[in-house]
Amino acid sequence: MSTPTTSDPASTAAQGDPRERLTTVRSEVAKAVVGQDAAVTGLVIAILAEGHVLLEGVPGVAKTLLVRSLAQVLDMDTKRIQFTPDLMPGDVTGSLVYDARSAAFSFRQGPVFTNLLLADEVNRTPPKTQSALLEAMEERQVSIDGQPRPLPDPFMVIATQNPVEYEGTYPLPEAQLDRFLLKLVLPLPERAQEVEVLSRHVSGFDPRNLAGAGMRSVAGPDDLATARTQVRTVGASAEVLGYIVDLVRATRVSPSVSLGVSPRGATALLATARAWAWLSGRSFVTPDDVKALALPALRHRIRLRAEAEMEGVTTESVISGVLRTVPVPR
């Protein structure tokens, strides 16, 4: 995989401020990926909030192409790991290799040393390897032979899992699910969108040649660093903070839920709402920002009771019910 390139400063400056550049990401990615605008927006929000994303979708909905396109547009390096039952932690993080010529061990970096890491089918690898990825996600470093090695900045894990095939998988424990800032669901495209996909292929679109699709870099790591600094200045009133707390507390008392949203979930909802407010051109968070991000920020942090699942209750329906019943600040 190619290393990140440096954007032309003159052309970059001509494109406006970081907000303008990041809001054009969706239209650029759409040159290669059809019908996943919501997922692209969610990924941009996660990058701004310095979090990680769990992508769920059946095979063939362009999860890998989406990540590669995002890396191209944001001028970042990306690597992909296909998680399998025999994958070892060293295959992710890297390992010490003995050099016979120097009679010493040297560190060989694993694929985790990148900007955007696509962890494909992360639930197909044993917990030991999942925990190695967890350290990289949480600490933004890996420990080899007791020595911490920092990961590149920016760094984001985009993990995928198949929602319909569970045989031979190792479901992610709640502690690891809670580390993902957002869970985005990639739906199958509508008929018109699927026709558009085929039309592009007839016209010569090659998913392995993104530059040939007219895709260009619209932002770089420097823009992202500036944007993150600006996101941290977005304010939230006491009423909005109370609204977020009331939402997460309501999930804990729902009769259908055995494990509700933790305080980390509340901070995740606040972080994503601030990023969305900034992208929308505001310096403060509104209740509508919180509502817009509640589903992707909270749905993977709720465990349902077995009897509720048998009755057809879903985490999405629980969150929708909470949004309807919790009073919205005026």
pLDDT tens-digit series, residues 210-229: 777 778 888 888 889 999 99
CA 239 to chain centre: 28
pLDDT for 7 beyond 70: no
pLDDT for res 16: 63
Least confident residue range of 102-111, 240-249, 250-259:
102-111
Do 70 and 211 fall into the same domain? yes
| pLDDT average, residue stretch 190-206 | 88
- pLDDT per position as a tens digit, 141-168: 888 877 888 999 889 999 998 877 667 7
Q: Does residue 251 have a pLDDT over 70?
A: yes
Task: Specify if 95 maps to a domain.
Answer: yes
Domain count, the chain: 2
Q: Structure pTM?
A: 0.88
Measure the CA–CA gap between 115 and 246, rounded to whole angstroms: 35
Q: Which of 227, 262, 279 is the last residue of a domain?
A: 227
Predicted confidence (pLDDT) at residue 237 exceeds the cutoff of 80 = yes
61 pLDDT more than 50: yes
Return the DSSP state at 213: G
Confidence of residue 105 (pLDDT cuts 50, 70, 90): confident
pLDDT of residue 80: 92
User: Is 8 a residue whose pLDDT tops 70?
Assistant: no
Contact 157, 46 (CB under 8 A): no
- Alpha-carbon span 158 to 117, nearest angstrom: 6
4 falls within a domain: no
Mean pLDDT of the chain: 87
| Contact in structure between 45 and 248 (CB atoms under 8 Å) | no
User: Which domain range does residue 259 map to?
Assistant: 233-325
Tokens of 216: 């260009």
Instruction: Point out the domain boundary residue: 192, 227, 262.
Output: 227
CATH code assigned at 30: 3.40.50.300
pLDDT (mean) for 271-275: 96
pLDDT for 325 equals 94
Residues 65 and 118 in one domain: yes
Whether 298 maps to a domain, the answer reads: yes
Whether residues 165 and 55 share a domain: the answer is yes
Q: How far apart are the first and last CA of the chain?
A: 50
Same domain flag for 43 and 169 = yes
What percent of the chain has pLDDT above 90? Answer: 45
What CATH number did the domain enclosing 263 receive? 1.10.8.80
> Which two tokens mark 2?
């190619």
Question: Do 152 and 269 share a domain, yes or no?
Answer: no
How many CB atoms lie under 10 A from the CB of residue 113?
18
Same domain, 315 and 208: no
- The single-letter DSSP state of residue 173 is P
Structure tokens at 202: 């007839």
Kindly state the average pLDDT of the residues 19-31.
Answer: 86
Using the 3D structure, point to which of 210, 227, 244 is the last residue of a domain. Answer: 227
Specify whether 185 is located in the same domain as 306: no
Domain match, 183 and 49 both: yes
- 313 and 177 in a single domain? The answer is no
Q: What is the pLDDT of residue 4?
A: 42
Lowest-pLDDT choice from 8-12, 62-66, 108-112 = 8-12
For residues 66 and 129, membership in a common domain is answered with yes
Q: In this structure, is residue 3 part of a structural domain?
A: no
Task: Report residue 13's pLDDT band, with 50, 70 and 90 as the boundaries.
Answer: very low
**Helix, strand or coil, per DSSP, at residue 229:** helix
Name the band, by pLDDT with cuts 50, 70 and 90, for residue 94: confident
Q: Give the whole-angstrom CA distance, residue 274 versus residue 270.
A: 6
pLDDT band at 18 (very low <50, low <70, confident <90, very high): confident
